Amino acid sequence: MSFYTDNKTFCTAMTDLFRQGLALPGVSQSLSQTGLMLHLIATDPAATLALNGRSQPPEFTCTASNAKPDFAIHLSADLLHQMLLGQVNVQDAFMAGKLKLEGPLLRAMSLASHLTDLFRQIETLYPQVLRNHGLL
């Protein structure tokens, strides 16, 4: 059974998490420097998480943006959950075929260091977000 049972619960938790993450010192600036739009396209439940580094300040939504993303990552909501808990490494998930990348590789590489910073910081917030939403 999936950790997130429905789209609403998943989107509510992810919106809280990413908005808190973008409010951390330096995170918004780092994402703005990329000027890129990233979509995390999740399954089970289905949702599109959009990080918009084109806007000032950067924005997060849990709906597909009208703008075409520069880069998209396809993964299950459970895999994202496990990655945010530090239980699964991104590179391992990619090599195992559990995470699929879409977009130009050079752009992905330029975004990688900025996203690594964001994800490292939001990993520390994630357990508390889960507790706040009664999920832990």
Residue range 73-131, pLDDT digits in tens = 999 999 999 999 999 988 888 889 999 989 887 767 766 766 777 788 899 999 999 99
3-state class of 92 per DSSP?
helix
**Cα–Cα distances in angstroms (integers) from residue 96 to residues 40, 43, 127, in the given order:** 18, 17, 26
CATH value at residue 44: 3.30.1050.10
Residue 95 CA to residue 98 CA, distance in Å, equals 8
Does the residue 134 lie in any domain?
no
Query: Which domain, by its residues, includes 37?
Result: 7-129
What total of structural domains would you count in the chain? 1
Residue 12 CA to residue 18 CA, distance in Å, equals 10
Residue 64 scores a pLDDT above 80: no
Order of strands, sheet of 37-43, starting from the edge strand that comes earlier in the sequence = 59-61, 47-52, 37-43, 71-76, 100-102
Does the residue 101 lie in any domain?
yes
CB 47 within 8 A of CB 76: no
Work out the average pLDDT over 21-36.
Answer: 86
